[in-house]
Amino acid sequence: MTRQYRVLPAAEFDLRSNYRYIADDNRAAADRWFGKVRRLFEMLSRQPFIGERREELQPDLRSFPCGSYMIYYRVVDGDPAVEIIRVLHGSRDVDSILGSEKLDDDVR
């Protein structure tokens, strides 16, 4: 089965916020970062189990690094798409951010 990826709203917000933060100093660097993130999304869709399991944060959650940032995603059985949950800077308190987020079925 060929998988795709789906970026959830919180991750879309992260992408926009992170891009603007980087672009404030260097627009070209922000463009490179964004391209790298999208390429990693595609890689994760092809090799979804490559990321580290993060069950301590949420069931079925995985993470994969992208420079100073971390991509948090989930592989859902029976769904042809990898769900990109968040893209957070490594300095963020992910335990409180992801540990407090509830991912109800209607959000999927």
84-94 pLDDT per residue, tens: 999 998 777 77
Burial of 97 (0-12, 13-18, 19+ CB in 10 A): middle
The backbone torsions φ and ψ at residue 34, rounded to the nearest 5 degrees and listed phi first, read -60, -40
Q: Is 98's pLDDT higher than 90?
A: no
Q: What's the average model confidence in pLDDT over 95-105?
A: 62
- Point out which residues pair with 70 in neighbouring strands: 65, 88
What distance in Å separates the CA atoms of residue 87 and residue 36, rounded to the nearest whole number?
12
Quote the pTM value: 0.85
27-53 pLDDT per residue, tens: 999 999 999 999 999 999 999 999 999
Position 2 scores a pLDDT of: 61
50-76 pLDDT per residue, tens: 999 998 888 899 999 999 999 999 998
Q: What's the average model confidence in pLDDT over 77-99?
A: 83
Instruction: Enumerate domains of the chain plus CATH numbers.
Output: 4-99 (3.30.2310.20)
